[in-house]
Amino acid sequence: MFRRAVSVALLVAAPALAQGRPSLELILPASAELATEGPRIRLRNVSDPSMQELVKNGFPAQLHFRVELWSAGGVFDALRKSVEWDVILRYDALSTQFRIAFHRDGSIVPAGQYGTFAEALAEIERPRGAPITAERIPDRQYYIATLEVETLSFKDLDEVERWLRGEARPAVQGDANPGTALGRGLRRLFAKLVGGERRNLRTRSGTFRVP
């Protein structure tokens, strides 16, 4: 299985035609709702043909979100709280469906299946509310959002390394060896070769006060 996936991934590693610059946007709620509703996150052009081919050949895509609430009332800005979650996109070859799931606080929640990559991507890029709200304090506040997109997880790369070494037995769930610093460096290099390099986006909202 890995032999076919790796060979196909290497073929699609060439730079793809640009489809627009990836962007991450924070949309604040109305002033009266700042203390009860979180900001909405909007993605654009988060994928490319290389990512689509990798997902279709068994390499799940993971989008890791982090949203932080900061206050700016003193000499230094202060981090008030933060929230993190993952969106996982994978292809089920048996049903020929693209499946989306949300992962937060140790729970994975299925979020639908789609017949085409474009449909799944449209769902991922649909604006969504972040599970975080501003605080009723006199200081000005603002949000910072970051997104890390990774086509190849390190667990997948560990499996590829075992295959390359001729080890037939797959890795046991939860027992993957994180490896040495050199091993991690080699995995990152392999990820770049097959088009799975991590991409990071970051944005900040304007400052506001909660009425």
Domain boundaries, the chain: 2-152+194-204
Of 10-14, 128-132, 190-194, the range with the lowest mean pLDDT is: 10-14
| Stretch (H or E) spanning 27 | strand 23-27
Report the pLDDT value the prediction gives residue 155, as an integer from 0 to 100.
Answer: 57
Average confidence (pLDDT) over 47-64: 83
pTM for the full model?
Answer: 0.71
Of 91-100, 106-115, 182-191, the range with the lowest mean pLDDT is: 182-191
* Helix spans in the chain (H): 2-11, 49-56, 117-124, 154-164, 181-193
pLDDT digits (tens, 9 = 90+) for 130-149: 999 999 999 999 999 999 98
Q: Taking 80 as the threshold, does the pLDDT of residue 184 lie above it?
A: no
Q: How far is CA 146 from CA 26, 54, 128, 190, in A?
A: 10, 23, 14, 24
